Amino acid sequence: THSYTNYNSWDKVQSWIAAISTSNSALISKQSIGSTYEGRPMTLLKLGKKSSVTKPAIFMDCGIHAREWISPAFCQWFVKEALSTYGSDSQMTSLLDQMDVYVLPVFNIDGYDYTHKSNRMWRKTRSRTSGTSCLGTDPNRNWNAGWCSKSEPCSETFCGSKVESEVEVRNVADFLRRNKADIKAYLTIHSYSQLVLFPYSYTYDLAADHSELLKVAEGASSALRGLYGTRYTSGPGAATIYPAAGGSDDYAYDIGVKYSFTFELRDTGRYGFLLPASQIKPTCMETMLAIKYIAAHVQENL
């Protein structure tokens, strides 16, 4: 059965989504945003006090990269925490009263399932591109944000045959475009390296909101560090990790979602993508503090 302190197979996550989304009709609902390349349902969870009026929102996705298993584990943890602390935790109560939080538990479901069944180190989607026998496109290189145009289909960071060639990317990009007036923050969860990144990665140029985003990223990192002392580095993607084009955070920022952050969760390389399940709980607990810090800042600036 499903466990918040284990890495759940796609089948277990899928049944968890069905159960949790009907567990509390006052606080959570689900909606389909389409299907993956292999036909798996992309179900978006909507957290927040039910309202007849549209509320400002935060969008968070996990599992863009298949092998980064701690990421979907965090999204599941976040949903559980939100529902179980609403009414007792004043900040979570305020957040869900004032805003909606959209959570996509696993973005790249085909890839995630493939890492469970075949190749634990797979990163990309599982789509086929004509003219090559190599599979998959990097879903974090496929967005219309400085898109790379020239790249190798067999590369781990293949940008795709065109912008939004990946149906998973198109499904989420469409949702962001449809709701961009209300979406105030975009959070995308990855591993590993222990980083809080913000735009831009596709250029070394500083974002218009660079100083504010840096302040928020540093505040989130220090909130996280307060629990177990885990050290995160904050900064714009290009200079902090590597320059790279076609990423989701840059795209969200460029369509007007100001508070756009990429998290790289534990660890710094000892286990890397193979983070032991024993670290799921501490990782999720400390990451909650960072996410809540950002959410509070977003609320302050509504």
Ligand X SMILES: Nc1ncc(C[C@H](C[SeH])C(=O)O)cc1Cl
Minimum CB–partner distance for residue 11 and Zn ion (Å)? 9
262 binds ligand X (CB under 6 A): yes
d(CA 188, CA 262): 5
Of the candidate residues 197, 217, 257, 275, the single one contacting ligand X (CB under 6 A): 197
70 binds ligand X (CB under 6 A): no
**81 included as an active-site residue:** no
d(CA 210, CA 253): 11
**How many C-beta atoms surround the C-beta of residue 11 within 10 A?**
11
9 binds Zn ion (CB under 5 A): yes
Region from 3-11, 53-61, 105-113, 271-279 binding Zn ion, contact rule CB under 5 A: 3-11
d(CA 256, CA 183): 9
139 binds ligand X (CB under 6 A): no
Site for ligand X in 199-228 (CB under 6 A): 201
- Beta strand pairing status for 233-236 and 57-62? unpaired
> Which residue is catalytic, options 164, 166, 168, 264?
264
Of the candidate residues 184, 190, 258, 266, the single one contacting Zn ion (CB under 5 A): 190
Of the candidate residues 244, 252, 257, 291, the single one contacting ligand X (CB under 6 A): 244
136 binds ligand X (CB under 6 A): no
48 or 199, CB closer to ligand X? 199
247 binds ligand X (CB under 6 A): yes
249 binds ligand X (CB under 6 A): yes
d(CA 195, CA 231): 9
241 binds ligand X (CB under 6 A): yes
The distance from CA 71 to its chain's CA centroid, rounded to whole angstroms, is 7
Q: Binding residues for ligand X, per CB under 6 A?
A: 65, 140, 190, 197, 201, 237, 241, 244, 246-247, 249-250, 262, 264
